[in-house]
Amino acid sequence: MHSLPSSPQPRGWSFWWKPLLFVLVAVLGLYYVKWSPYYLKSFVAAQNHSIGASIIDDHQVAPLQAALAYAQVYFLAIWKAAVLAVILGSLLQVLIPRDWLLRLFGKAGLGSTVRGGLFALPGMMCSCCAAPVAAGLRKQQVSVGAALAFWIANPVLNPATLVFMGFVLGWGFAALRLVGGVMLVLGVALFAQRLSRPDQVPEPALNAVAAATAEPEGSLLGRWAASLWQLFWSTIPVYVLAVLVLGAARVWLFPHVDGSFGEGLGWLVPMAVIGTLFVIPTAAEIPIVQTLMTLGLGTAPAVALLMTLPSVSLPSLLMLRQSFDAHVLWAVALMVMAFGALWGLVALALPL
């Protein structure tokens, strides 16, 4: 296994202002888009035991109207986070020294994967908004496991979502989501890392570290503009198109559920599949599951939705098509589906 070469780190303001600028943008952006709104929303969840109506509960029957209606509601809910994600994903490539990222997240192993998951916790983003940042990490040659852990942990281990879930659905559901989320993030990321077959830091990454102290070509503004445009063009158009397609498909994806299904095990696998493919804003799985359970959906398929809806989605998978090999993304989607169904069965044995 290769080891990362040691490289002298420049000291002084000319070096430190770039990572400090990234931290400033990240903190201010996340405070405005995520931290402050979610802090206030937690009081609403505690008082009302609800965080709003289900985003799919508008009873659309025409696919075109369903697509446009869902796209409008969805993008109004996430556009600020999406803009911030593209900005952070591009700034990451020009402001953070690549050797820093490689020393933290470059090696294929448990430590790097765990750090990737922990790095995600302050972000609190949905899978689609986390995707541009994950793409930026991969552009800097971080390991598959660390980038996947960052991407999936953002929505699955979102601390605010866990708090909302406790107040709305009960703390048993929140605890089940937390435990299952940790298992899902680490299991999927480590398996995908092994599937991608690099058991060492790749040669391009080693070369990048060796050249980390060299002066980059072009101005900072020019390099950032190039990174921003490349990241935007590779992620956002396919994102918008996929959201429209899924918005139309929800006419068939979320049929009416009634009490005749009893515990609803017949819905377990379909809900795991639907949850993996469908796209939602952050924490939207909570009112969706709350509404479906009042209509008779059983505990097992409800938990399957709670695990799969936020984890990944067809749009977020397509957004990362240039960052991961296709067989890795297929494996991620199938593992999320399987784990969602399995965790739904586990829920049946627990007093929720």
Q: pLDDT tens digits for 202-251?
A: 555 545 454 544 555 678 888 999 999 999 999 999 999 999 999 999 88
Q: Which runs of consecutive H residues, i.e. helices, occur in the chain?
A: 13-30, 36-48, 63-95, 98-105, 110-120, 127-139, 144-156, 159-168, 171-196, 203-210, 220-253, 268-277, 285-294, 299-311, 314-319, 326-348
Asked, for residue 260, whether it belongs to a domain, the answer is yes
The answer to the question of residue 7 being in a domain is no
Segments forming the whole domain that contains residue 144: 17-209+219-348
- Whether residue 1 lies inside any domain: the answer is no
State the average pLDDT over residues 311-316. Answer: 96
Q: Using CA atoms, how far apart are residues 181 and 233, in angstroms rounded to an integer? A: 31
For residue 60, pLDDT over 70 is answered with yes
pLDDT by residue (tens digit) across 108-135? 889 999 999 999 999 999 999 999 999 9
Taking every pair of C-alpha atoms in the chain, what is the biggest distance, in angstroms?
Answer: 69
CA distance 49 to 181: 22
- Locate 243 and state its tokens: 């959201």
**Residue 1 reports pLDDT greater than 50:** no
Distance, in Å, from the CA atom of 170 to the CA atom of 172, rounded to the nearest integer, reads 5
pLDDT above 80 for 152: yes
Domain annotation covers residue 9: no
CA distance 229 to 164: 35
pLDDT score of 12: 64
Residue 312, classed as helix, strand or coil, is coil
Portion of the chain with pLDDT greater than 90, in percent: 73
Q: 263 falls in which pLDDT band (50, 70, 90)?
A: low
Say whether pLDDT at 200 is over 60: no
Residues 61 and 335: their CA atoms lie apart, in Å, by 31
Let me know: does 124 contact 85? Beta carbons within 8 Å.
no
- The answer to whether position 4 is within a domain reads no
Residue 3 lies in a domain: no
> 298-309: buried (b, 16+ CB within 10 Å) or exposed (e) per residue?
bbbbbbbbbbbb
Per the model's pLDDT, the better-predicted residue between 352 and 84 turns out to be 84
Select from 146, 133, 321 the least CA-distant residue to 227.
Answer: 133
First-last CA distance in the chain = 46
Q: pLDDT for 18-51, tens place per residue?
A: 999 999 999 999 999 999 999 999 999 999 999 9
Q: What number is the average pLDDT over the span 167-192?
A: 97
Dihedral of CA atoms 283, 284, 288, 290 in degrees, nearest 10, equals: 30
Distance separating alpha carbons of residues 70 and 68, to the nearest angstrom: 6
As for how many domains the chain has, the answer is: 1
For residue 131, which of 22, 243, 284 has the smallest C-alpha distance? 243
Cα distance between residue 39 and residue 47, in whole Å: 13
* 280 belongs to a structural domain: yes
Which residues touch 10 (CB under 8 Å, ≥6 apart)? 213
The residue-averaged pLDDT of 333-342 equals 97
In which band, very low, low, confident or very high, does the pLDDT at 56 lie, cut at 50, 70 and 90? confident
% pLDDT > 70, the chain: 87
2 in a structural domain? no
